[in-house]
Structure 1
Amino acid sequence: MLEEEYQPRRRLPRALQPPTPVEPSFAFEIRPARPTDLPYVREIYNHYVANSSVTFDEDAMTLVEWRRKFAFVTNLGMPFLVAVNPSGEALGYALASPWGGKAAYRYTVESSIYLRAASTGKGLGRALLEALVESCREAGIREMVAVIADKNADASIGLHARLGFTEVGRMGRVGFKFGRWLGTVTMQKSLRRRRGRPAR
């Protein structure tokens, strides 16, 4: 063996050491969704359809279905938000859709929020949910309901709890996906009007 192999490795002077790679900043803007965002929305959602029990859907949604849903939600004046990076790609989305399907439920919505897998753990989920809550309040919504799968859902339950959602019920073994039974956790948040705004 060469003698050099027995010598302790010497550190390069600070000026000669290679620079530490800098991670690009995680920048995003939250805005109302546009039809051009829907291919990204479809991709984000279908990832969870295929790989998780976060959604009980088992079949991927088509772009046509997403266009129909977008039109339905926005025509009702309900929020459909996206978080986009500086290049305009959607990193996540959040929307409110009618709860219950009957006229008397018109001031209550079910909230949905999904993030691109690489965008989790960076504060985007909280920012999107906060924006959705405020958009629902602006739209005159009084109650928000989140129905969350009970498997591996601690992060989602915790996020909703931190933003004022309270658990109002659980149902067990109401879904079956990937060969196992799944339940749901239902959380609810009441929205108060800002002062100076008339009741709807």
Structure 2
Amino acid sequence: MPLIVRDATPADVPAIAALYADEVREHVNTYEYDVPDEAEMSLRLQSVIAAGYPYLVAELDGQFAGYAYASSYRARIGYRKTVENSVYVVPGLKGRGIGAALMKALIEACEARGYRQMIAVIGEPTNTASIRLHEKFGFTLVGIFRGIAWKHDRWLDTVQMQRTLGAGTTAPPQDE
């Protein structure tokens, strides 16, 4: 079976939670310390979808391969047309186009919803695979915050990248 990207469902929560748990415990792609359980991950999924953001899952040969979602970049109303993206791929499946398929579908879903900017907050400058993926989709480096997070007994830098969606800043949002 081919690679497919589809909307996430509650049935995906165990696989999403397992992948995210590995990220929390072993890596710095999230600065969360405590692994959220499936109930918490289910609430997060529901919250993202209820707010009108896309939450996607990739399957390769019928098996869970990763997930991606967009969420609010900041809470203030003025940021309502800007989203932050998150993309996670099962470690043993990296380098097979799954991240790219998720990113492409996520960008399309955000543009269809009228969002104008997408921000990537990348766990540190050494995450070159994530940086290259974002560059491939037109993201540009906005800046690097030095030493703003502490995890795994070290200070971490954070990369921020940005990409225009749809009409970008050429016109006011349609809800104005």
- Deviation of 1:152 after TM superposition, in Å, equals 2.6
The alignment status of 1:170 with 2:118, answered yes or no, reads no
User: Match of 1:143, as an amino acid?
Assistant: Q
CA shift digits 1:59-79 (9 cap, x unpaired): 111111111111111111110
C-alpha deviation, 1:85, in angstroms? 3.1
Deviations 1:102-131 (A, max 9, x none): 111111111000011111011111111011
User: 1:3-18 to 2 correspondence within 5 Å?
Assistant: none
Equivalent pairs: percent with the same residue? 37
Q: Which has the higher contact order (CA 8 A, sep 6+)?
A: 2
Q: CA shift at 1:151, angstroms?
A: 4.6
TM-score (norm 2): 0.91
What 5-or-longer segments of structure 1 have no aligned partner? 1-25
Contact 2:114 2:166 in 1 (8 A): no
Q: Kindly state the Cα deviation for residue 154 of structure 1 after the two structures are TM-superposed.
A: 0.9
Stretches of structure 2 that go unaligned for 5 or more consecutive residues are: 168-172
Following superposition of structure 1 onto structure 2, how do residues 43-58 of structure 1 map, counting pairs within 5 Å? Answer: 43-58=18-33
Residue of structure 2 in register with 1:110 after alignment: 84
Cα distance per residue 1:32-68 (max 9 Å; x no partner): 0001001100011111111111211111111111111
Once residues 146 and 5 of structure 2 are traced to their aligned partners in structure 1, the CA distance between those partners, rounded to angstroms, is 35
1:53/1:151 contact within 8 Å kept: no
Greater strand content: 2
Q: Distance between the aligned counterparts of 1:170 and 1:77, measured in 2? A: 29
Counting only pairs closer than 5 Å after superposition, residues 27-38 of structure 1 correspond to structure 2 as 27-38=2-13
- Alpha-carbon separation, structure 2, partners of 1:137 and 1:109: 10
Moved over 4 A (4+): none
For 1:154, the equivalent position in structure 2 comes to: 128
SS of aligned partner of 1:71: helix
Q: Which has the larger radius of gyration?
A: 1
Is the contact made by 2:125 and 2:159 (CA closer than 8 Å) also made in structure 1?
no
Give the aligned partner of residue 138 of structure 1. Answer: 112
State the TM-score, normalized to the length of structure 1.
0.81
Matching residue of 1:62 = 37
SS in structure 2 at match of 1:110: strand
Across the aligned residues of Structure 1 and Structure 2, the Cα RMSD in angstroms comes to 1.5
Equivalents in 2 of 1:91, 1:58: separation in Å? 23
Q: How many residues align?
A: 170
